[in-house]
Amino acid sequence: MLRKFTFVAAVSLAAMTLSACSQGIESTPVAAAPDMATYTAAQFFESTSYGVGSSSGYTFSADGEYILVNSDQSGVFNAYMMPVGGGEAIPLTTSTDNATFGSSFFPNDNRLLFTADEGGNELNHLYVRTLDGSMVDLTPGEDLKASFAGWNAEGTVFFATTNERDSSAFDLYAYDTLSFARSRIFTNEGGFSIADVSPDGRWVALTKANSSADSDIYLADLQGDATPKLISAHEGNVSHGVYTFTRESDALVYGTDEHGEFSEAWRYNLATGKKRVMLEEDWDVSYVSYSPSGRYRISGVNEDALTAVTILDTLTDKEMKLKGLPAGNLGSIRFDEEEKRIAFTLSSDTSPTDIYLADLKSGNATRLTSALNPAIDEGDLVTATVARFKSYDGVEIPGILYKPKGASAANPAPMVVLVHGGPGGQSRRGYSPMIQHLVNNGYAIYAINNRGSSGYGKTFFHMDDKRHGDVDLKDVVASKGFLQGLDWVADDRIAVMGGSYGGYMTAAALAFHPQVFDAGINIFGVTNWVRTLESIPPWWGSFRDALYDEMGDPATDAERHRAISPLFHAGNIVKPLLVVQGANDPRVLQVESDELVEAVRANGVPVEYVLFPDEGHGFRRKENRITASEAYLAFLDEHIGR
């Protein structure tokens, strides 16, 4: 919510993948701490990734015996039923190629709604798994994208969005739970994004981006004429976003930065139109949600790249405390229908996401999964810290710093500056097998949050508007001086790396500041902004104007886009480069990487190129992610690990 256009959502997706480009490379690994085991990429990725069903769906089965879990334990994401009493998860989908994610159980039986695309092309369809195990495509057709959008309060109707009518607009449909007969209940003809549907099915909350810094909220009354009504009238640039409707369908809870640097939670009364503040913090309020009856309110606040979660009992006005939990980050809280139990996730810098179950009355929690590969001693992994430095013009830049065990002035570690996707993303604390694999093998990581990153106030967020490849790139370059000042960093061995927009920043650093970094890893990064902005997928139609406001319209700003595009300045690149690309990527086309590799090879510079035929923008298959991390390590060992 309240985000600028993003190519990739999180730094963990920069863990994304390579092919066997590392074979045949003779490398000199960095020395690890003598009392610490060193692990392979396969061991890190043999840890299992877990998640739970949609926040707008039924995560607990109708009989309360199972939790809907998404996991890549088979090597590809599939949906499973996890017994609440513990034990092995039961597969509900068995895809061997396309990532598949369970959205919701049905309210009265164990039928399942789930989504899947093809090879990472992002053209998801919505499917139902019937009780006999057969799969039915609820949104058939070519070149369309669909998603699950929630249930009505009675569980007799579920909602879905699809762009089948107009590839640039998502309409809202209501489906009968028995016959799957559907009707289009909102036709999106105004360039809106459908944000939420009220539990009584009457109201649809819509958002609309006016620019990268300005957005609005509209409400459509489906029991009236359904004409969207603006409810966020304001002056100047103000960002708005939708959190949720109340369970009574009497109010909309939304976010706005109208009253300060950070996003606050406000409540809009649907009957009177009156507004009042609900939650204000010194950081962005990331989300607000409710339990089925509305008794419990859950909120998350983005506190310096960590999410602080509060579960409030609105009857007693007391925070709920959970017992028996290790230190970590709470997330994805899901209630059973009787509000006796919650399922949730817990992770930390050194532990991947696990699924827990807690009794609401006692607060006692039980761990249902063990995601970390038992071959890995968690004590060998590294907890991150937040480190800030003054950039070239005095602006303070934050980042997430990982110091390898054993790194010291006597044994300095080579460093990798990791740039997140975006341009408006944020590097955050939390477990990343890619990062921990590199750190475990002796590489320090600084995941920089250069200006333009989210999470640090709207002024910081918009400092790079129409100045991409300039002020934000100068922050990345300036980080080298800060890192060289750490006595445990090998100041002559510093690389730059990133995925998506971070991949662009990597290529731009090598092209426009060719002597600063010693090597670069570009993971499906933009190299030609003119082409990329002209080839935006049609389903991003409602965000295109905001993107053009931030990056510039290719019809009028093509000269500037060409000036900041590494492809047209690839002749400057003199440092080793590793390029990674998914062939099915709809956001950064394969040709972007093809042409950069060809141009840099013409310089006589060492270039490795890995193309995955079965991946898109953000790699999903475990085998590919393993190969990716192996290639990252081999490349770094070869070029900065000597």
CA-to-CA dists, residue 564 to 202, 274, 567, angstroms: 47, 46, 9
184 and 59 within one domain: yes
392 and 338 within one domain: no
416 and 312 within one domain: no
Domain assignment present for residue 321? The answer is yes
160 closest CA partner among 189, 182, 188: 182
pLDDT (mean) for 151-164? 96
Q: What is the pLDDT of residue 639?
A: 97
pLDDT (mean) for 491-512? 96
Q: What percent of the chain has pLDDT over 70?
A: 94
487 and 431 within one domain: yes
pLDDT digits 0-9 by tens, 407-443: 999 999 999 999 999 888 999 999 999 999 999 999 9
C-alpha span between 461 and 211 (Å, rounded) = 13
Which residue bears the tokens 């810098």? Answer: 349
332 and 440 within one domain: no
CATH of the domain at 418: 3.40.50.1820
pLDDT digits 0-9 by tens, 174-229: 999 999 999 999 999 988 999 999 999 999 999 999 888 899 999 999 999 899 99
CATH of the domain at 99: 2.130.10.10
H/E segment holding residue 435: helix 433-440
Contact between 580 and 628 under an 8 Å Cβ cutoff? The reply is yes
C-alpha span between 598 and 514 (Å, rounded) = 18
Residue 354 burial (10 A CB sphere; 0-12, 13-18, 19+)? buried
Least confidently predicted of 179-188, 477-486, 505-514, 604-613: 604-613
449 and 519 within one domain: yes
298 and 176 within one domain: no
424 and 366 within one domain: no
H/E segment holding residue 401: strand 396-402
121 and 33 within one domain: no
Residue 623 burial (10 A CB sphere; 0-12, 13-18, 19+)? middle
Domain assignment present for residue 571? The answer is yes
Q: What is the pLDDT of residue 11?
A: 33
Domain assignment present for residue 153? The answer is yes
C-alpha span between 91 and 355 (Å, rounded) = 16
413 and 353 within one domain: no
Domain termination residue (choose one: 339, 371, 403): 371
Least confidently predicted of 1-15, 19-33, 240-254: 1-15
Q: In terms of residue numbers, what domain contains 179?
A: 49-189
Domain termination residue (choose one: 142, 163, 189): 189
Domain assignment present for residue 519? The answer is yes
Domain assignment present for residue 4? The answer is no
399 and 297 within one domain: no
Domain assignment present for residue 228? The answer is no
Residues contacting 374, CB < 8 A, separation 6+: none
CA-to-CA dists, residue 420 to 2, 307, 400, 497, 500, angstroms: 17, 18, 11, 9, 8
Strand 444-448 and strand 489-499: pairing?
A: unpaired
If phi over 0 gives left and psi between -120 and 50 gives alpha, with beta otherwise, what is residue 524?
A: left
2 closest CA partner among 455, 467, 471, 466: 455
The answer to whether the pTM exceeds 0.85 is yes
Contact between 4 and 454 under an 8 Å Cβ cutoff? The reply is yes
Q: What is the 3-state secondary structure (H, E, C) of 128-176?
A: EECCCCCEEECCCCCCCCEEEEEECCCCCEEEEEEEEEECCEEEEEEEE
Domain assignment present for residue 214? The answer is no
332 and 473 within one domain: no
| Number of domains the chain is built from | 3
Domain assignment present for residue 37? The answer is yes
Domain termination residue (choose one: 336, 371, 406): 371
pLDDT band at 14 (very low <50, low <70, confident <90, very high): very low
Kindly tell me if the per-residue pLDDT of 547 is higher than 80: no
